[in-house]
Amino acid sequence: MEITQVIYVNDHNNIEANLTGQEEMNTTMEIESSSVPQSKNYKKWLRISIYVFFVLACQALSTILGRVYYENGGKSTWMGTLVQLIGFPVLFLFRFFSQIKNPKPTEADFRKFSSFTILGSVYIVTGLLVSANSYMSSVGLLYLPVSTFSLILASQLAFTAFFSYFLNSQKFTPFIVNSLFLLTISSALLVVNTDSENTAKVSRVKYVIGIICTIGASAGIGLLLSLVQLILRKVLKKQTFSTVTDLVAYQSLVASCVVLIGLFASGEWKTLTSEMENYKLGKVPYVMTLASIAISWQVYTIGVVGLIFESSSVFSNSITAVGLPIVPVVAVIVFHDKMNASKIFSIILAIWGFISFVYQHYLDKKKLKTSHTSPVGDSHLLPAEEGHTNIHSV
């Protein structure tokens, strides 16, 4: 009996020890498993922060440098357009180094890619649209003050929502309608109050052309973003890092070829030598200015692509839009642009419209996240939600 009690006590102690060890092991595993997501989230937000800095800093820098080119004797709009696109090989390097740590795609993955004809058509269509947008923005930057140009270009959010309504079934919620209204009024204020601008450097006709081209570029950007979203969802049916990078790089290649044809067809290439010799800052600063514009635009593009991959195209577009009101402030410091009441009010309306736009998509994302975390008991919701998730994750 005593032996039995001793065995029972020992077994009981062993069981308690095993249970204690198991609890400690489970606790350790929980700590380790919880620390892994925290580490991943930290790295993800660090990457997002870097990409946001790329977008905000290089967007302002490239716009200011573009104006520096025109202010000091640059006159070629085709050259001003080309430097926005010609740095696209940097994207291939970015893609290569970013995927070194990632596993190589298998043969099954290659079968998922669309045919060469479809890809070629996508790259050509989007490339032509990119070249048109870049040229119109180059003309707008030539004829308009930087502050006016940037504030009008901020209306791209409104155009994005408008075209997404038809191409991507974007719902016009009260916040979206409010954003459209505010951004439209913000741009309309600058278009109407042209008399308050210093138009001594350009004629009235060129100033109006600049406004028209900038509005056209803004509309083109909105159409391009909505079209790319449709292509990734319906045609390519995937939004991986390589797919987005390839789309941006190859459309820039097509756009560069189109702009090169325009440069030679217009005859502006003949004036580039004299333009460099007569550049106010000198030959070396002329080359450095153009090179800096090309590099800054590609770093900006890397930031945009990175934000699309790490977050979403909506977030990337939102960061791009919020950076546009920063440029007028920099332009006042660098070029001494006039900051009158209409511009200040326009900036306030643009920021208000941006906040309204972002808040709506925050609500959409929160609603989607809530539906994904619905109780398991609601089994009738699971197939639809799983299918929805798979569509976006492929």
Amino acid found at 290:
L
Q: What pTM, to 2 d.p., does this model score?
A: 0.78
Structure tokens at 154: 């901020």
Tell me if residue 200 falls in helix, strand or coil: coil
Question: Distance between the two ends of the chain, CA-based, in angstroms?
Answer: 67
For residues 168 and 259, the answer to whether their CB atoms sit within 8 Å is: no
233 closest CA partner among 75, 392, 105: 392
pLDDT at position 158: 80
For residues 325 and 339, the answer to whether their CB atoms sit within 8 Å is: no
pLDDT at position 184: 78
pLDDT at position 377: 44
- E-strand spans in the chain? none
How far apart CA 225 and CA 163 sit, in angstroms, is 9
pLDDT at position 274: 93
Query: Alpha carbon of 94 to those of 46, 88, 212: distances in Å?
Result: 17, 10, 35
Residues with pLDDT less than 70, the chain: 1-40, 100-114, 190-200, 312-314, 324-325, 372-394
Classify residue 102 by its DSSP letter.
Answer: S
pLDDT at position 41: 76
pLDDT at position 157: 77
Structure tokens at 87: 């740095």
